[in-house]
Structure 1
Amino acid sequence: MGGQLNFDFDGATSTVAHGKVVLAQKEGKSIPLGWGVDKEGRPTTDPHHVAFMVPFGGAKGSALSLFIDIMCSCLAGGLNSRKSHSFFKDFDHPQDIGYVMIVINPDKFLPEEEFLQKVDAELKDFSDCPPAVGHNKVYLPGEIEGMKETESTKKGVELSDTTIRELKKLCMDYGVTENL
């Protein structure tokens, strides 16, 4: 934030992003227990039976998910997560979801430079923590993704065979020349 270390967080409130379940469906793979539940709320390893994603963090994660749902549906006017149209399955209706952004001006609390120095110190302190056994580093949120982006910029993006087949079909359907 202050220029030395980055803190980039973009995450779903579910254990994993729903896209991982969709990819498992397409690739004919099972998913780990704890990712999703079926219509009756039973844990499942079959990605085709996932009706709801499991929130991260047990009861606290569930409360955080509900808070976000309240902010985005009740306050912002979108549908709640149980009623919005599926981004992955329903292409005939808009999702009708709401967004809430909260902006905080640090200058209202302390001078900007002091804030940035404190953030850098906090991130460095966290990053310098001893890693868990079997790991070589403690990563900040977004750090691994940033390294992958840098590598992909140099080497390209690896796509699964399933994704390549889907892209080729889309190109054929829309008359676009493909070069995959």
Structure 2
Amino acid sequence: MDMATSEVAFGKVRAAAEAGQMIPPNWAVDENGRPVTDARLAKAVTPMSGAKGYAIGLMIELFSSALSGMAYGPGIVRKFDDWEHPQQLGYFVQAIDPAAFFPLDEFKAGVDEILDDISRQPAAEDNPFGRVLIPGEPEHERKAQRLKEGCPIAPVIAAQLRELGERHGVPWPGN
């Protein structure tokens, strides 16, 4: 599992800012910690699930910064604001060998049973997918689609990439 412990990844807020779009008030806060709907004013994203998400995020922060000796929070160079300095990001990776706890074939059968049971549950009427999904399933499907059809790029991002390429002598594909 690789995910942000915030309500959304900051990249979504940045994309909304560049597109001039508003964001939900639970996505980000300004420099004073007040919720914002104008993505251009966002200075930080909010933790997922309120206080419980904050606790999980803090635990991950402690593992990936204090445990590794790397920067945390305000000490991390923001990748979108400063391309000249390393971010000083720390990472925490945990690997578990299920066979150390239980026979592997029984573990796999249990996982399959749980995932199958979740997938068989009725979807809510307003579920845009029409079915109950397993975490990561939409991303897996999107990856397969993009490998087949290509990746869409927002016009504002495409313009920035084209300009960056021109500045550094890298031709835009199709020119």
Aligned to 2:151: 157
Q: Percent identity between the aligned chains?
A: 37
Tell me the CA shift for residue 133 of structure 1: 2.2
Q: Distance in 1 between matches of 2:143 and 2:34?
A: 36
Aligned to 2:77: 85
Q: Distance in 1 between matches of 2:158 and 2:41?
A: 25
**Structure 2 spans left out of the alignment, 5+ residues:** none
Aligned to 1:10: 2
- Aligned counterpart in structure 1 of residue 138 of structure 2, from 132, 135, 144: 144
User: Counterparts of 1:23-38 in structure 2 under 5 Å?
Assistant: 23-38=15-30
Aligned to 1:95: 87
Aligned to 2:43: 51
SS at structure 2 position matched to 1:92: coil
**Structure 1 spans left out of the alignment, 5+ residues:** 1-8
Q: Which amino acid aligns with 1:152?
A: R
Aligned to 2:172: 178
Q: Which amino acid aligns with 2:144?
A: T
Contact 2:10 2:44 in 1 (8 A): no
SS at structure 2 position matched to 1:121: helix
Q: Distance in 1 between matches of 2:83 and 2:145?
A: 33
Aligned residues: 172
SS at structure 1 position matched to 2:57: helix
Q: Which runs of 4+ in 1 moved over 6 A?
A: none
Tell me the CA shift for residue 172 of structure 1: 0.3
SS at structure 2 position matched to 1:101: coil
Q: Distance in 1 between matches of 2:167 and 2:73?
A: 32
Contact 2:76 2:89 in 1 (8 A): yes
Q: Which amino acid aligns with 2:10?
A: H
Tell me the CA shift for residue 126 of structure 1: 1.4
Q: Distance in 2 between matches of 1:76 and 1:84?
A: 13
